[in-house]
Amino acid sequence: MKVPSTRFGEQEIEEEKVIRMPEGMLGFPDKRFVLLTPPKPGPFLWFQSAEDPNLAFVVVDAKECVPELTFPLTSDEFQKLELDPERPDLIFLLVVTMAPDPLDITVNLQGPIALNAEKLIAKQIVLDGVNYTTRHPFFAPAARQAAGRDTA
């Protein structure tokens, strides 16, 4: 199938690689997305709508910047993602907020995207009542300190 993208032009994507997101992203009606890799390899990917060429989110695998964190799922979320309780093949993607200064790049820990990597079903999880922020620094405090940046 052809997926139009304002950033990468039209992309040919195999239908079986389309991620279904029955509830969409918060505030957006689109239900089908693809992961696109930018020309320069790195930790960031594009979570591109398969329906709207203008709708895409920069995302990163949560393991890239907060490997120690776990995101709790309710039984309802587990069910909606069609996860196998014996072998949940689950990836958490974090929406990235880019910045002119790379050390100011942040990730949203409060609204991760849970992705069933086997069945390609995703759901944005909203974590209420936890101390996760929507603007968690992507770079660890040590990297910021090494660059002479305040870590507070």
3-state secondary structure 27-70: CCCCCEEEEECCCCCCCEEEEEECCCCCCEEEEEEHHHCCCCCC
Q: What is the pLDDT of residue 92?
A: 97
pLDDT in tens, 106-129: 999 999 999 999 999 999 999 887
pLDDT in tens, 51-99: 999 999 999 999 988 988 888 899 999 999 999 878 878 999 999 999 9
Q: What whole-number distance in Å separates Cα of residue 2 and Cα of residue 130?
A: 40
- Side chain identity at residue 54, one-letter code: N
pLDDT in tens, 19-56: 999 999 999 999 999 999 988 888 999 999 999 999 99
CATH architecture of 2-146: Roll (2.30)
DSSP-H helix ranges across the chain: 75-80, 141-146
The mean of the pLDDT values for the chain is 91
Burial (CB < 10 A; 0-12, 13-18, 19+), residue 129, is: exposed
Q: What is the pLDDT of residue 149?
A: 64
Backbone φ and ψ of 45, nearest 5°: -125, 165
- Side chain identity at residue 69, one-letter code: L
Query: Is the pTM above the cut of 0.75?
Result: yes
Pick from 90, 91, 121, 127: which is nearest to 108 by CA? 127
